[in-house]
Amino acid sequence: MLRFAMLGAGRIAGAHARSFTANPDAELRWVADPVPGAAERIAGPAGARATLDARQAIEADDVDAVLVCSPTPTHVDMILAAVEAGKAVLCEKPIDLSMSRVDELLTALDGREARVMMGFNRRFDPSFADIHARVTAGEVGSVEQVVIVSRDPAAPPREYVASSGGIFRDMTIHDFDMVRFFLPEIVEVSASGQNVIEPFIAEAGDFDGAVTTLRAANGAVATIINSRRCTFGYDQRLEVFGSLGMLQAANVLPNSVRSFGTDHAEKTAPYPNFFLERYVDAYAGELAAFIEAVRTGGPLSPSLEDGRQALVLAEAAEKAARSGRTVTLPAPTTVK
């Protein structure tokens, strides 16, 4: 039984709370959030203790592991504090919006990076994980093309956009990690940003859609198609094409019902609304993998370096989108 402190009690914390309920090997002991009353809303039903003070939760004797789902700017400090306190860490993406702060964290961790796992939950989606296992087993031969469609249902609010770090660091970063799940060594990035949805996003200097192309060291090319708005739900698809065949993850439907009428056949309900619904199994799988790795001393994966590499790709994509030039990555992006 692994005992957890959860830092942050927002939307993503709610998703994790559901995983705790269903996981017999995890126990949520503490929830910390500086907003009065926030921690209680999650701690109460879970039978955990609530606090305003993250450090109290991190350092509690009955805590083995820390789940960081506080706002991005706090991640670096929380990770460091938790590792200093001897706790294993599962941290939501991204590590930070600033590469220099990420590098400072790595310096400060000084060899203890292996205590930290990044919350790239999609690696644990049952369909994506199945594709990964089968690709690794050679089912499609050598990977030549990866295509990701990743569209949010609706644009985030103006304030969110302002502090998000931009579409590539905030939204595409999950897709960058998914590309690296299949093609860890990316050597070139190009990107086309779009402003077709919300004027306030353009005004904030951000894009509301993007197509990003990444070339791997082995010549494979990955394409990521993003939009901040999608009327039919959260559009999340993946295809991995190789010399021997292709594996494709269709989007997930809320049930298996199809309707038929005078003007249509085989109609389904729209796709799940957003990540909380779409990736509920992925969050559960991520928690289980973290627990298993901590238990067995196995490597925590995706690693902090995976988190850093996703950020490297986000920076490169932004630069490419703004310059109209392919960005060549300065050094191998392989995991150290």
Q: Which of residues 157-196 bind its own copies (CB under 8 A)?
A: 188, 190, 192, 194-196
Based on the shown chain and the rule CB under 8 A, indicate whether residue 267 belongs to the binding site for its own copies. Answer: yes
Applying CB under 8 A, among 52, 99, 114, 197 the residue interacting with its own copies is: 197
The per-residue DSSP string of 117-130 comes to EEE-GGGGSHHHHH
Q: Which residue has the tokens 């298993």?
A: 292
Nearer to its own copies, 114 or 221 (CB): 221
CB of 196 to its own copies, least distance (A): 5
Contact positions with its own copies (CB under 8 A) in 72-111 = none
Contact positions with its own copies (CB under 8 A) in 269-288 = 269-271
Contact positions with its own copies (CB under 8 A) in 223-252 = 223, 225, 227, 229-233, 241, 243-252
Contact positions with its own copies (CB under 8 A) in 39-58 = 45
CB of 241 to its own copies, least distance (A): 7
Based on the shown chain and the rule CB under 8 A, indicate whether residue 308 belongs to the binding site for its own copies. Answer: no
| Cα-Cα end-to-end distance for the chain | 31
CB 169 within 8 A of CB 94: yes
Contact positions with its own copies (CB under 8 A) in 314-333 = 324-326, 328
Q: How far apart are CA 69 and CA 14, in angstroms?
A: 10
Work out whether the CA dihedral 185, 94, 165, 75 comes out positive or negative. negative
Contact positions with its own copies (CB under 8 A) in 209-228 = 209-211, 213, 215, 218-221, 223, 225, 227
Nearer to its own copies, 241 or 274 (CB): 241
Based on the shown chain and the rule CB under 8 A, indicate whether residue 136 belongs to the binding site for its own copies. Answer: no
Q: Which residue has the tokens 């392989």?
A: 334
Based on the shown chain and the rule CB under 8 A, indicate whether residue 268 belongs to the binding site for its own copies. Answer: yes
CB 245 within 8 A of CB 257: no
Nearer to its own copies, 251 or 309 (CB): 251
Q: How far apart are CA 286 and CA 258, in angstroms?
A: 31
- Residues, the chain, total? 336
CB of 207 to its own copies, least distance (A): 10
CB of 145 to its own copies, least distance (A): 6
Based on the shown chain and the rule CB under 8 A, indicate whether residue 262 belongs to the binding site for its own copies. Answer: yes
Q: Which two tokens stand for residue 79?
A: 């990770």
Q: ∠ CA 186-192-196 to the nearest 5 degrees? A: 140
Q: How many residues interact with its own copies (rule CB under 8 A)?
A: 74
**How many CB atoms neighbour CB 121 within 10 A?**
28
Applying CB under 8 A, among 100, 136, 256, 296 the residue interacting with its own copies is: 256
Q: Which two tokens stand for residue 96?
A: 């930070």
Applying CB under 8 A, among 62, 138, 160, 259 the residue interacting with its own copies is: 259
**How many CB atoms neighbour CB 155 within 10 A?**
16
Which residues have a Cβ under 8 Å from the Cβ of 247 and sit 6 or more positions away? 131, 134, 135, 139, 140, 239, 240
Nearer to its own copies, 75 or 132 (CB): 132
CB of 65 to its own copies, least distance (A): 20
Q: Which two tokens stand for residue 50?
A: 């609530």
